[in-house]
Structure formats: C-alpha cells, structure tokens
Amino acid sequence: MADSRQQQSPRPVRLAEYTPPAHLVDTVQLRFELGEEWTTVSSRLTVRANPERIEAGPLVLDGRELELLEVAVDGRPLGEGEYALDAESLTIPEVPERFTLEVTTRIRPQENTALEGLYKSSGTFCTQCEPEGFRRITYFPDRSDVMARYTTTIVADAQRYPVLLSNGNRIGAGTLTDGRHWVQWEDPFPKPSYLFALVGGDLARVADSYTTMSGRQVALHIYVEHGNEDKVDHAMRSLKEAMAWDEATYGRECDLDVYQIVAVEDFNMGAMENKGLNIFNTSAILAKPETATDADFQRIEAIIGHEYFHNWSGNRVTLRDWFQLSLKEGFTVFREQHFSADRYSAPVQRIEDVRRLRTAQFPEDDGPTAHPVRPDSYIEISNFYTPTVYEKGAEVVRMMYHLLGPEDFRRGTDLFFASHDGRAVTTEDFVRALEEASDRDLSQFRLWYTQAGTPRLFVDAEHDPGAATYTLHVRQEVPETPGQAHKQPMHIPVAVGLLDRAGNALPLRMEGEEPGGTTRVLELREAEQSFTFTGVGEDPVPSLLRGFSAPVRLEHDHRDQDLAFLLAHDEDLFTRWEAGQELACRSLFRGVAAYQAGDEMRLDETLVEAFGGLLRGDAGDKALVAEALTQPDEGYLADLMDWPVDPEAIHQARRFTRARLAQALGDDFLYSYQANQEGGEYRPDPGAIARRRLKNLSLAYLVAGGVGEGIEAAREQVHTATNMTDRLGALRPMVAEDVPGTAESLEAFYTQWKDEPEVMDKWFAIQATSPHYGTLAGIRRLLEHPAFNFKNPNKVRAVLGAFARGNPYRFHAPDGEAYTFFADQVLRLDRINPQMAAALARAFSRFRRYDEARQRLMREQLERIRQDPQLSRDTFEIVTKSLG
C-alpha cells in the first residue's frame, strides 16, 4: 500500500471553505487488540446530526491505509452497497438522526515507518495522532471540532506488553486465558481525535506526585525503557516547576488525576501533548550530566513546560480547524519562553528566542513557502508545523502582551479560558478576548495573523539643537509574498531609548506629554511616521527595537562607533547584544567582500576592542557575555547577504575572523578559560551554565586560532570531562578544526557512548557540520555507519538535517554533487517517512538566493524529486511551492 498521492495534483484545503461538521460524536469506545502481525481496532461511536447544520446528509468518515473488516449502524452490519470506500474516506449515504456506529479495522503498526497513527518504536506500541494520524487507526470524523468522550480497552500479550496506557484514568484490568491481558481507560474530558494516545510496551515507571493550588493530588508517571530510570529526574523536576508556574502566572490548575509521559526513540517531532498522556521523543526527556549538555537540560525543561501548558492552551480550549494551529502553538511557545525566562535569565532567553526566529523563521518568511501565522490554504497540514506558526506566532502574542501590559493580558487570557473552555475556537476568539479585557483596539494589529512576510523598518534620526528636539522618522515596508502582492501597513510596537554621550539613559518626553521613563514604545501604524522627543539638548545615540519589541528587520544608519557604544553602555541588554552582533556582521561582510575581490582579509580593530572589552570587563552576566561573543552563524549571514549568497566567502570570512580574534585576544580567552573552571558536582543552574558556556566558548576560539595551549587544553578536557557539556565543548571545536588527535578522540568517544542513542546523535551532528568531516564523502560514511538508522528521525536530523542546515559551505559545494546526493536521500526517505522527507526537501527551497550555476543545479534536483510518480503529498507540496 503506497502512501502516495494520486495521479492528479492534490487539491489545497482552504480556510474560506470551512463548514461545521455534519455529524457530531458524543462518545467513543475503542478496543485495541495489539498483535505481532496486525492490530485489530474496534470502535463504537454514538453519533448525531449537528443541529447547527440544516441538513446533515451522508456520514463521511476519514480513513487512510485501513483494512475495513466490518461496519454496522445501530447493530446492523452494512452490506457492500450500503457504503462507499475510497483511499481517504468511508461514506454511508443513509444514516438516522442519532445512531451508534460500529467499525472494525485492521492495521499493521509494525510496518508503519511514517510514524503517524499507531506504530512501533523499539518494541513499544505508541501513537502520534496530531494532526491527522487518528484516521490511520480507524474511520472517524478526524477533525479538531469534533470532540468526544473516549473509553479505551487495550488487549495485548502480558509478557511483552505489561504496560498498557491511554488517556484519562485506569478503570479496569484483567487477564485472559491465552496469555494476554487487558486494561481499560476512561478520559472524562471530551477531546478531538488528535489528542488521543495509546502506549503498549515493557517500560519502567518513575512516579512522583504534585499537589495543586486547590490541594488536589496529581500522580506524575514517567515511562522510559528499562535502564533509563536514572535519566528522568530532571524531566520530573521540570514538570513540577511547570505546574507551579502555570498556577502562579496564569492561574491554571492541573485538571487530571494522573499525568503520564512516555519517552519513545522514534518520533517525528519533540513531543506531543495528548490529554493526560504526553508522548515524548527520548531526546526531549532523558538527561543526566554524563550524557546530556546544558542546552539539553534547558531544552527538556522548555519542552516539558510546553506540553504541560498545552493542557490549557490547546486541550481545554482547542482548535476549530488546522488553520488555527498558532492559536495553541504560538500562545504555548510564548508561555514556554516566558517560563524559561523566569527560570534562567530573561535577556539571555530573549536573545536565544530571537536567534532562533532569525535563523529559521525570517528565511521562511522571505521564501517560496512563506505563509501567514494563520495560513489560508494548505495541501498537507503536516507541513505547517513551521517556525512561522510557532515562533512568529509567539512573537505576535508577545507584542499583544506588551501592548496590553501584564495585568490586562492576564485578564484577557482568563476571559479566553473561561469563555471557551471545552470548545474548539479560532485565533480571532483569542484576540477578541484580549480586546474585551483591555481597552485596546487590535483591529489593525490582526494583520499580523493574515499578512505574511517580515516587515522592514527604516529609521532616520534628526537632532535639532536649537529646539532641543530629536525626531525619529520611521518607514515600514511589508514585502510581497506568494499569493499576497499588496500589503497594508502594520501596527508595530517599536521600543526605543536614547543615550547621552556619557552612556546614560535619557528620560523620554514627547511633545505635549509629561516626562516618562527611559524606554518608550512607539506605536507605528502608518507607512511613514515621525516621533519627536523634546528636551534633548545634545545629539543622543538611539537604542532601537529594545527587547526586540517586534519581529521585523530593522535598518538604521548607526556608525560602527555607535554600535560599540551601545554594546558597552545600553541599559537594555538585548540591544547591547544586538549592537555587538551587528558590529560582528559588518566586519564579516567586509571580509566577504575582500575574499571575493581576492584581497587580503583584515580584522577590524573596533571589533577586537569591543570583544576584548567584553572579555575583560567584569560584566555581571557571563551568559550574556558569552552570547555577545558568539559569532553569527553561516546560515544567518547567508540570509543577510545581498544576492547572490556566497557560502564559500561567508565560510572563509567567518573562519578568518574567528581565528584572528582568538589570536588577537589569546591571553584574554586563556584567562577566561581558566577563570571559569569549576570543580564540584555538576549542576544545571543558571550561574554554572553561564560559566561553562563562557569557558567552552573561550576554548573554541583558542582551538580555532590554533593557539597551542588551547588545543592542548581541549585534548585534555575531552577525556577528563565529567559531564557532556564539557566533553562536547572540547570535542566540537576539535572536530570543527580537525586538530591533530581528533580522529582518535572521535573514536574513543564512540567506543564510550555507542550504547546511548542520544549521545550518538551528537557524535553524528558534530561531524556532519564540520568542514573537515562533513564533506560529501564524510556524510556518505556517516550514513553507512552501523549506528545510523534511516528509520529513526533523530538520526536523520543529526546527519542529513545538520549537514544541510549547519554546513552550508559543504552542502553548497560548487560542483553540485552534494545536491544530487541529498535529493537521492529525500527520495529514499519519502518512501519511509514523508514528513521527514518534506522537512529535508526544504533545504532547496531558497535556491533563487544563489548564483545562476547553483540555482540551475538545485532546480534540477527539485524537478527530479517532483517527477517521482510515488511522491508523497508532503514532499510534493514543498517541492512544487519551491519551484513556484
């Protein structure tokens, strides 16, 4: 059975064509018999015509790749002529107003490599139903506005599958005489089918509990493979932190008696918020100091929080249709980011959020797959779990948070939860609740949901010493995107401050107003607008877009000295970092120009002084210093570069700058490396994380600069390290530079960690992103390595994903051989896992940004993929949109 599109092109689904469901389902009783060859699924639904529809008409159920064994209405089995089946649906033309429907299907989870619906991961049965996986389990109105109460009975071999889980509470269990046992679960909360989950396997359980603010006890159960019990402490602690945070920050209490999390090895995404039974990628759960890095610890806490927060933003209040995806994802990412900011450092969190937005979302918004936060059409909804829906969606919520202020925003979310609890709603319902709770008019602001493209802001400043006024002239442009030629001006909050020549923040006062604080949010609504501050005697340095108050590309005419000044003095820590990054980018682009012209590259003195100042200054926040000293990555530089992108020049300029900075500041980096050493037990707390970050960043510079003491230190650290942060902190720069001893260290690392799949992912990724190990020949070797597995998404991401995204220099090698190779892998993967294949195919989507030769080579590969007669709908959509 090929999971492939039909001969003709698939038809897009459009928001404008939304109609309420013809039939509603009140209760669902499911019975699964899990078997080695096949699994039988029997369902019994109570169905009624939707009173909102004048005429319900035929019953149409979704279903894909199912073997239908039986279908009955009110107990009477239907004969051949009484229903119609096609590749995607089951239609029963004649049904009563109210009836029970019984359907029995047979599926083969052990052959399901797409990892949607019910599948097996290292011997464990598990599910992934969002967005449209439930239809691969049984025939059902598989849409989020059909909410029902589920009771689930699971029958399986008692020895192999002692643990049988589903949503809700366990209400019964027993054994059969044939060696099988059964467990029954009942979920008291009505839910859409995408939140259904089931697990069957031989797993270890780690248990704890949480007492909610009203004094209810919630049992917390985390299930992992035997042997991994020592890697769940951090996840469990994070879960309790998240529960407490949502009570304190949003007044949201957990509504469950038992909150279950299961970790599985093979998973397309990070995790899934199924009601009361989250299923997680092992990479988003398992951590102990020896195997996980600081970044892993932080990512796990964020994802645990994210899925927990969905229990309200997504589950209690759910989506009317998939166009509303950002209602739950944008809001929940915002909640997750806020949680992480409260747990660690708010400015550092902001920097990381912005970095991610810029490296992943800005390019998307500027390419052929650009779409609004609330898309208006799709071919395959799985392709819309994008940085735009998630990260830009979170930025949109953040702007409203700041426009309303924390109190009104909280009143708005309270109102939203109270008025839509138990319902399936839209982003419009969310915005309206925020408006009702405040006296803000968000009508123009709504364009953020419907207009794609990253707005550009152009700022000019004018100082009038005679009048002591300072005027900012701001102009906005929203670029054209596919299907949206003409844009309206957006409502953009621009937070600004002014610094006097001594670096002090000036109190801000606008014409006709009382003096205010030192940050002012300008609300830009027109295509062009001017804002005048009074009482500004001397020409100040403006600090623009503080805290990154809007997801825009900002252009201004700061001189290098102004940037260095802001980096040293601005009271807004985000803008300080931003100034440093911009300084670094300018210097890198001078290197790019020199490289392209065949001239000698030179290191900018301003940059050396600025970075040296950071290293030597006793800046309190080491994490912030580390962020500021981190070079912008090659992908981000490519995004900033005018056509045509030159991946080789970018790589060489970045490499040159890093090495020369390390040599110019060798003593400072060495000092910083030594001063930030610490003994004692590993702790993933903010202070210790920041010190390790700065220490290992310094080490990476020293290795890049070829500084002997640094290379020696890295070789030493890679085998004496007692935690993975430090071990990788040494190995990564060694592999990046291929210093003597690297091959041996890689081999030793493999021998030590080959039984830890999450550690092996790191081992693969540092090689795939190295200019030395991540050559085409190197990537081929990694794919043939015994630890590699094409069916495991984490491995595919660690090698192919990391290569395309993290190694542009080799991926875009001018002979185009990597393109051909990569397209081969996309096609091979498309048969196994269309979602993953489509994700990889995006590596070609911005081919028009490159020179004509590369364009032609990439286009050839896109055409070749498109011509595959069995291509999945997922990959088809990405490839056809890329070709435009």
Of 267-275, 356-364, 732-740, 776-784, the segment contacting ligand ARG by CB under 6 A is 267-275
Burial of 208 (0-12, 13-18, 19+ CB in 10 A): middle
Q: 822: which 2 tokens?
A: 């990569």
For helices 708-720 and 742-753, angle between their N-to-C axes, nearest 10 degrees: 10
How far apart are alpha carbons 378 and 838 in whole angstroms?
14
Q: How many residues bind Zn ion (CB under 5 A)?
A: 2
Name the 3-class secondary structure at 769: coil
| Binding partner of residue 875 among ligand ARG, Zn ion, none, CB cut-off 5 to 8 Å per kind | none
Indicate if the alpha-carbon torsion angle 48, 54, 59, 62 is positive or negative. Answer: negative
What is the 8-class DSSP label of residue 130? T
Could you say which of Zn ion, ligand ARG, none residue 268 binds, taking C-beta under 5 to 8 angstroms by partner kind? ligand ARG
CB closer to ligand ARG out of 29 and 835: 835
Among ligand ARG, Zn ion, none, partner that 877 touches (CB below 5 to 8 angstroms by kind): none
- Which option in ligand ARG, Zn ion, none does residue 130 bind, with CB closer than 5 to 8 A by kind? ligand ARG
Nearer to Zn ion, 385 or 821 (CB): 385
Q: Which is nearer to Zn ion, 38 or 385 (CB)?
A: 385
Among 273, 296, 562, 578, binds ligand ARG (CB under 6 A): 273
Please, what is the minimum distance in Å from the beta carbon of residue 169 to ligand ARG?
Answer: 23
Q: Which residues pair with 683 in a beta bridge?
A: none
Among 127, 128, 238, 575, binds ligand ARG (CB under 6 A): 128
What is the layout of strands, in order, in the sheet containing 198-201?
A: 117-121, 124-128, 198-201, 163-166
Q: Find all residues with CB under 8 Å of 52, minimum gap 6, and list them.
A: 20
Please check whether residue 69 is in contact with residue 83, taking contact to mean a CB–CB distance below 8 angstroms: no
Is the bond preceding 131 in cis, omega lying within 30 degrees of 0?
yes
Minimum distance, C-beta of residue 332 to Zn ion, in the bound complex (Å): 5
Residue recorded with tokens 């003597």: 740
Min separation Cβ 397 and ligand ARG, Å:
15
Does the protein bind ligand ARG through residue 266 (CB under 6 A)? no
Under 8 Å between Cβ of 55 and 43? no
Per CB under 6 A, the list member of 127, 228, 268, 369 interacting with ligand ARG is 268
When binding is defined by CB under 6 A, the residue of 18, 385, 417, 671 that contacts ligand ARG is: 385
Selected binder of ligand ARG within 3, 130, 336, 365 (CB under 6 A) = 130
CA-to-CA distance for 247 and 734, rounded, in angstroms? 45
Dmax (CA) of the chain: 96
The nearest distance, CB 92 to ligand ARG, in angstroms, is 29
Q: Is 102 a catalytic residue?
A: no
CB of 191 to ligand ARG, least distance (A): 13
Shortest spacing between CB 269 and ligand ARG, in angstroms: 5
Site string for ligand ARG, 715-754 (x = CB under 6 A): ----------------------------------------
Interacting span for ligand ARG (CB under 6 A) from 41-49, 265-273, 440-448, 843-851? 265-273
For 852, the 3-state DSSP assignment is helix
**Minimum gap (Å) between residue 794 Cβ and Zn ion:** 18
Considering the complex, state which of residue 324 and residue 767 has its C-beta at the smaller distance from ligand ARG. 324
CB-nearer residue toward Zn ion: 332 or 438: 332
Token pair recorded at residue 712? 């020696």
Among residues 113, 153, 369, 382, the one that binds ligand ARG under rule CB under 6 A: 382
Alpha carbons 205 and 258: distance in angstroms, whole number: 13
Beta bridge pairs of residue 140: 62
| Least distance to Zn ion, CB of residue 310, Å | 6
Catalytic residue selected from 132, 273, 307, 336: 307
Binding mask 815-854 for ligand ARG (x = CB under 6 A): --------------------x-------------------
Contact 472, 542 (CB under 8 A): yes
Is the distance from CB of 798 to CB of 762 less than 8 angstroms?
Answer: yes
Residue 871 in tokens? 């291509």
Q: Which of 59, 198, 199, 272 binds ligand ARG (CB under 6 A)?
A: 272
List for the chain the helix, strand, coil content (%; round to 5). 45, 20, 35
- The mark string for 309-338 relative to Zn ion (x by CB under 5 A, - otherwise) is --------------------x--x------
**Residue range at the interface with ligand ARG (CB under 6 A); choices 147-155, 271-279, 288-296, 612-620:** 271-279
Closest distance to ligand ARG from the beta carbon of 229 (Å): 25
Restricted to residues 419-458, the positions that interact with Zn ion (CB under 5 A) are none
- Which residue number, 315 or 882, has a Cβ lying nearer to ligand ARG? 315
Q: Which of 269, 433, 566, 728 binds ligand ARG (CB under 6 A)?
A: 269
- As beta bridge partners, residue 126 has 119, 199
Both structure tokens of 275: 């009601």
* 644 preceded by a cis bond (ω within 30 of 0): yes
Q: Is 343 in a helix, a strand, or coil?
A: helix
Q: How far is CA 136 from CA 64, 72, 140, in A?
A: 5, 19, 9
Residues 681-720 that bind Zn ion (CB under 5 A): none
- Identify each DSSP E strand in 176-289 by its residue range: 180-186, 198-201, 203-211, 217-225, 258-264, 271-272, 277-281
Q: Which two tokens stand for residue 32?
A: 């699964």
Which residues are tagged catalytic? 307
Q: Give the interface with ligand ARG as residue ranges (CB under 6 A).
A: 128, 130-131, 268-269, 271-273, 306-307, 329, 382, 385, 835
Q: Give the interface with Zn ion as residue ranges (CB under 5 A).
A: 329, 332
